[in-house]
Structure 1
């Protein structure tokens, strides 16, 4: 009789313990849900493209020219800007076909209307960027190239010095333009 009483008591304690743990766990879960935490897990599945320009310093140099030439629109105030992208990490789908890729580009810098402003002693001159088709690229403009990305590409642009409409003053100048590329 003592043995069955002890077994009954142990069984009762075990049942109470299990229900108590579940109740505590439910309270803890309820409290956790009220905290508003979100956990995200992900991974990088591809590498970005390697980028280079025509020279190691990633600079474009304009030759000295006269202000009269600028007014006449001489070609000496234009320079090509070729951006080489390689190792873009082409991926293949299950059927061994290339997956479609896209690029989004943005040129950013100090603004002078639809052009990029120049710093230095020069006055009345700005820098204009055009794509290979001659389309003007304004600072901050999002360029979407969803035609597909090859493993190696060349993006061709033209840099051009243009008058701003202000009085022209000769002098040295420079500009820094940031290129952002999103590859996906």
Structure 2
């Protein structure tokens, strides 16, 4: 009888990490890391109107469970989750009222507003939004705005982080 030994086909290590959190909803994966490509904005529009066309984006809350239990005593109920609060954060511009844009374009900043038209200021929590149902979509709009410096053509980019808190 001939013995055949299998050649080593390689090996590896899988490293997994995660969190256990006390939260009302999960954030849809596509909502967590978004790359938003805005349409080109003519300089004349920024000078004349002070802002670009709006670019909508959403944060999708999924698998919501509004019932809370005490993590230390599973038979004890806590008050149900009722609200979510979103805080956008990043480098500031316009004296803290907008998000800084970087790149070869000059004279612009980024402004985020919610569905009610309320402006987000970097690091300042937005008003509470009621949480209802198994899933919910939070609607926001992104615009380029002038930052009181001369506008010049070019490209821009920005990184804006967000945090969700439930109450």
TM-score normalised by L of structure 1: 0.64
Q: Where does 1:107-126 land on structure 2 (aligned, <5 Å)?
A: 107-112=88-93, 113=95, 114-126=97-109
Give 2:36's match in structure 1, choosing from 54, 60, 67: 60
Q: 1:70 to 1:152 in 2, by over 3 A?
A: same
Count, aligned residues? 138
Counterpart of 1:103 (choices 64, 67, 84) is 84
Flag structure 2 segments of 5+ consecutive residues without an equivalent: 1-19, 70-74
1:79 matched to 2:60? The reply is no
List alignment gaps of at least 5 residues for structure 1: 1-43
Q: 1:120 to 1:75 in 2, by over 3 A?
A: closer
Q: Distance in 1 between matches of 2:87 and 2:32?
A: 21
Q: What RMSD in Å do the two structures reach over aligned CA positions?
A: 2.9
Structure 2 equivalent of residue 147 of structure 1: 130
Larger Rg: 1
Is this contact kept in 2: 1:53–1:82, CA < 8 A?
no
**Following the alignment from structure 1 to structure 2, what is the Cα–Cα distance between the partners of residues 104 and 146?**
6
Q: Tell me how far 1:131 sits from its aligned partner.
A: 1.1
Give distance in 1, aligned partners of 2:163 and 2:52: 28
Superposed CA deviations along residues 143-177 of structure 1, whole A, max 9, x for unmatched, are 24253343211111111100011011111110100
Is 2:111–2:143's contact at 8 Å kept on the other side of the alignment?
Answer: yes
Deviations 1:86-111 (A, max 9, x none): 012232799xxx93422121100000
- Deviation at 1:69? 1.7
Q: Which has the higher contact order (CA 8 A, sep 6+)?
A: 2
1:138 is aligned to 121
TM-score by length of 2: 0.70
